[in-house]
Homo-oligomer: A and B are copies of this chain.
Amino acid sequence: MGGVTSLTGVSVVLLDVNETLSDTSALSAAFERAGAPGHLAPTWFAAVLRDGFALTAVGAAAPFADVGRAVARSVLSGQVPVESLEAAADAVVGAVGDLPLHPDVPGGLRALVAAGLRVATLTNGATEVSDRLLSAGGAREPVERLLSVADAEGGSWKPHPAAYRYALDACGVEPGEAVLVAVHPWDVDGAARAGLRTVWVDRTGTPYPEVFRAPDATVRSLEDLPRLLRRG
């Protein structure tokens, strides 16, 4: 665990969804079912964020599913027959909502609530996908609010400050009362710049990229969060 060993004054835990709660390694199966190599899955996911952030950088936005489908068409082009491209792109985007939760998620979320914390999710995707993932994984109940940047000003994706501001307003808290929990360093960075506390979830022991603001703390599992955040 890097940085501080406790974070006090936090009442709301704001969790990223894709890859933070869901296990995106299972996306490779969706590419294989489409007849394409499974190793295209991480390229696809990085490129979806790349293109979504490119729009964010110019003050524009598009729904996650639209960006996801457009990138899937590009990545799958030449890999699947032209007449199957639309169906394959739809299948990849649909698979994001069918991923399993990481094993530490259901227990971790319940333990946060038991420790007196409010739990919400904030995704660049659709709240329907968050609902599907959490419900299927038996972890919907501890989550008070499912939030999406689609409802933020201008539909701005994280890491734009408007995305975090929307979530703070929806939960009725000040930046310092919320902690953003994510596996993505760009999300930690954006939240830190927006004034939130931050925790980086590093399940695999990778180096944190020093181009981004460092998290207040690092955990290996969501089950480490209650100890870190237990209220005064």
Chain A residues proximal to chain B, CB less than 8 Å? 37, 39, 42-43, 46-47, 49-51, 53-58, 60, 62, 66-67, 70-71, 73-74, 77-78, 85, 157, 159-161, 185-186, 189-190, 193, 204-207, 209-212
Contact = CB atoms under 8 A, between A and B. Distances in A.
A209 B58 contact: no
Given A43-B46, A209-B70, A211-B66, A204 B58 contact: no
B189 A73 contact: no
A56 B55 contact: no
- A contact patch SS: helix
B212 A51 contact: yes
A186 B53 CA distance: 10
17 contacts: A37-B39, A39-B39, A46-B47, A47-B50, A53-B56, A55-B189, A57-B57, A57-B157, A62-B211, A66-B211, A67-B209, A67-B211, A70-B209, A73-B207, A77-B206, A78-B204, A78-B206
A180 B76 CA distance: 26
B39 A159 contact: no
Nearest to A161: B58
